[in-house]
Every structure is written in structure tokens, then in C-alpha cells.
């Protein structure tokens, strides 16, 4: 069975979604949608796609199995709801949905229509990040104490393709589009977050969405995590540090490479994921490779009705939405917020 895909959003969709679909024989992108008719027509012709639309409702109503939503976050709830109501499954790009309330409503609709909604928390399939739970279960680091995540870059004004991000309602800023990935990974590694402290700022555009922030997350497991980001900084750097009682893991990017420093030693040693993880990415690094594994997991669900345990669901999206709602509330009210406050 070939899964017939309709792709909405042709900027990020062209960079990430389409290449991953093309490498997987289980999928065929049969329709695309963009607001600009010239862009939609040219895109379809360039990539050999049969149909193109400027109205997403028309694409969703056509003969498809999966709607791949790669538009700005402010459009996700409506497009996913339209997909479910039309009897289609939906792949929803990060940032997934604007709030916990929106996510709960979408979960209810998906259940009612018996359709599947999957948030694109694909970085959990990055081979190195995917290897971390195994290292933790083997007690390689000892008791996890502290997780640090850092995202530094200069994104403002670098591309018209990212201008939407600074619109609070449509884009949701760096928290919604980048930190959401790190929060999903941290919850996957350490379990539920109990409460958060935060400071959020829009330093590059005071009237826009956040570009800078510091978040402290307190996990039920006892782990403390900090998420520090600035998208208007001169120096680019992204990475994780996981510090345990026996060793620390230092990870560049979203799993580009990793070294370990054992307690009492000053030199670092390389740590490598299982070869099977690397093979599953089809030789692609980073986001593209992780997306490929994600699509394999999704195809298994859609064709065999079997939900892999690591496939992200709308329930995962709800928990991340609750955490992000709590982060925003903590920043507004300048206090520590319990996740249980967010319904």
C-alpha cells in the first residue's frame, strides 16, 4: 500500500518533508498547496507532483491518506481539524499547536473521527539522542543530576522564510519552534516535568514573539534542567550537556556528535550509537535523517495498524503544550508554575 500524501507549506516542506518522503517508497506526494499559485504550480512541475492547490481545503478534500502540515504554527489547529473531519491522518510540524486547550480539542476530534495525528518531534530519532535512554538504563552516567540545553544563533532578518516566527500568534517564537524539540527530548529521557521557572524576552523585536529566554525545569525524577536560548546572538551554538554522578555526556547540536567525561578524568572519550540506528537514517545526518526514521515509524502505523512505542502522538504534544503554557505563565507572573496548574 502506497500512502498518498498532500503537502501544505512549501518552504520548510521543500527542505525537510519532501526529501524524506521521496526517499521512502511507502509514500507518494501526490498534491501540494501554497497560497501563491505561481509558486505552487512551479513546485509541482519541478518535483513531478500531479496536483497543486492554493486553497488547503481543496487539497484536504481530495483523494489522499495523509496531510503533511509544514505551515507556520498558527495554522496547525485548523488544518489538522479539517484533515480529521475529511477522514485524513495528519502529520503536524513543530511548533505543533498554540496551547494545551487547542491540543485537547484536537485529540478529541481525532478520537471521534478515528484518525491519527502525529507531531513531528523527530529529533528523538537522531541516533545519538536515541541512544541516551539506553546509556541511562545501563547506569553509564550514574544518577542524572543536571541537563543543560543551549541554542544560540542569529535568525532575525536572515530570511523571509522565517519572518513568520516573530509573529506571536502565527509563529510563537523560538520557544514554540526550537525549544519544543528539546523539551520533548528531555521528557523522553527523564519523564514528567513537575514545575518550571522562566524569563522570556523579545530583544530583537520588542513587539514580537520571544527570541531569548532562560527556562528551569524541575522533573519528577529529580533531574534539574536548564534551557537557554538567544536567536539574536552573534555566536552560533547548539548542544546538550547531561551531567550525572559518574560521568557527563557532551552533545553537539541535536545529536551531531557526543563525548563522555568520566568522574575523576579530564580527557573525553567518544561515544557512538548502535550501527542499526545509523543505518535507519539512510545515511542522512541531523534533521533529515531523523525525519526518515520518523516516517518509517508512521508508515508502520498507517499500513499495519501497529503503533510503535517511540512514535510521538498528540498526547505527547499535549504534555509539551502544557509545559510551554506553564513556561509562558511563569514568565508573565514572575513565579514558579506547577504543570498541574495547566489543564
Q: Are the C-beta atoms of residues 117 and 102 closer than 8 Å to each other? A: no
Distance CA 294, CA 247 (A): 30
Residue 330 has pLDDT above 90, yes or no: yes
d(CA 143, CA 219): 13
Architecture of domain 3-120: 3-Layer(aba) Sandwich (3.40)
Pick the CATH number of 123-291+318-341 from 3.40.50.2300, 3.20.20.210, 3.30.360.10, 3.30.2090.10: 3.30.360.10
Residue span(s) of the chain under CATH 3.30.360.10 come to 123-291+318-341
Contact between 328 and 183 under an 8 Å Cβ cutoff? The reply is no
How many CB atoms are closer than 10 A to CB 220? 12
Nearest Cα to 35, choosing from 61, 59, 19? Answer: 59
Closest CA to 118 of 71, 73, 66, 82: 66
Residue 160: the pLDDT is 59
Strand 269-270 and strand 257-262: the pairing is antiparallel
- For the chain, helix (H) and strand (E) counts, in that order, are 12, 15
Whether 35 contacts 10, CB under 8 Å: no
Give CA–CA dist 20/56, Å, rounded. Answer: 21
3-state secondary structure of 50: coil
pLDDT in tens, 144-199: 999 999 999 998 765 656 778 888 888 889 999 999 999 999 999 999 999 999 99
Q: Give the number of C-alpha atoms closer than 13 A to the C-alpha of residue 28, restricted to the C-beta side.
A: 11
Whether the per-residue pLDDT at 4 is higher than 80: the answer is yes
Tens of pLDDT along 34-77?
999 999 999 999 999 999 999 999 999 999 999 999 999 999 99
Q: Give the pLDDT score at 158.
A: 59
Taken as a whole, the chain contains a residue count of 343
Preceding omega of 128 cis (within 30 degrees of 0): no
Model pLDDT for residues 218-231, shown as the tens digit of each residue: 999 999 999 999 99
Question: Does residue 323 register a pLDDT over 80?
Answer: yes
- C-beta neighbour count of 256 within 10 angstroms: 13
pLDDT of residue 285: 79
pTM equals 0.94
Instruction: Please list the residue range(s) of the chain that carry CATH number 3.40.50.720.
Output: 3-120
Amino acid at each position: 500500500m502506497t500512502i498518498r500524501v498532500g503537502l501544505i507549506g512549501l518552504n520548510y516542506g521543500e527542505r525537510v518533508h519532501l526529501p524524506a518522503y521521496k526517499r521512502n517508497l511507502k509514500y507518494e506526494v501526490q498534491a501540494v498547496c501554497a497560497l501563491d499559485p505561481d509558486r505552487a504550480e512551479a513546485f509541482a512541475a519541478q518535483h513531478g507532483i500531479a496536483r497543486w492547490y492554493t486553497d488547503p481545503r481543496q487539497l484536504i478534500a481530495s483523494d489522499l491518506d495523509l496531510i503533511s502540515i509544514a505551515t507556520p504554527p498558527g495554522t496547525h489547529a485548523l488544518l489538522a481539524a479539517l484533515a480529521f473531519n475529511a477522514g485524513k491522518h495528519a502529520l503536524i510540524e513543530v511548533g505543533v499547536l498554540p496551547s494545551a486547550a487547542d491540543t485537547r480539542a484536537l485529540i478529541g476530534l481525532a478520537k471521534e473521527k478515528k484518525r491519527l495525528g502525529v507531531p513531528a518531534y523527530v529529533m528523538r530519532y537522531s541516533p545519538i539522542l536515541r541512544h541516551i535512554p539506553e546509556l541511562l538504563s545501563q547506569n553509564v552516567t550514574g544518577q542524572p543530576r543536571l541537563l543543560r540545553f543551549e541554542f544560540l544563533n542569529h535568525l532575525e532578518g536572515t530570511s523571509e522564510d522565517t519572518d513568520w516566527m516573530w509573529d506571536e500568534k502565527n509563529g510563537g517564537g523560538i520557544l514554540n519552534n526550537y525549544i519544543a524539540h528539546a523539551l520533548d527530548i528531555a521528557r523522553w529521557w527523564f519523564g514528567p516535568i513537575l514545575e518550571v521557572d522562566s524569563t522570556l524576552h523579545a530583544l530583537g523585536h520588542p513587539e514580537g514573539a520571544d527570541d531569548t529566554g532562560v527556562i528551569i525545569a524541575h522533573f519528577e525524577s529529580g533531574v534539574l534542567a536548564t534551557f537557554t536560548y538567544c536567536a539574536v546572538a552573534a555566536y552560533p551554538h547548539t548542544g546538550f550537556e547531561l551531567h550525572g554522578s559518574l560521568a557527563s555526556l557532551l552533545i553537539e547540536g541535536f545529536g551531531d556528535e557526543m563525548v563522555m567525561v568520566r568522574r575523576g578524568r579530564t580527557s573525553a572519550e567518544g561515544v557512538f550509537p548502535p550501527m542499526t540506528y545509523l543505518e535507519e537514517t539512510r545515511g542522512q545526518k541531523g534533521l533529515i535523517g531523523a525525519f526518515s526514521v520518523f516516517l518509517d515509524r508512521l508508515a508502520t502505523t498507517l499500513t499495519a495498524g501497529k503503533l510503535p512505542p517511540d512514535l510521538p502522538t498528540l498526547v505527547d504534544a499535549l504534555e509539551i503544550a502544557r509545559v510551554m503554557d506553564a513556561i509562558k505563565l511563569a514568565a508573565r507572573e514572575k513565579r514558579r508554575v506547577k504543570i498541574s496548574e495547566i489543564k
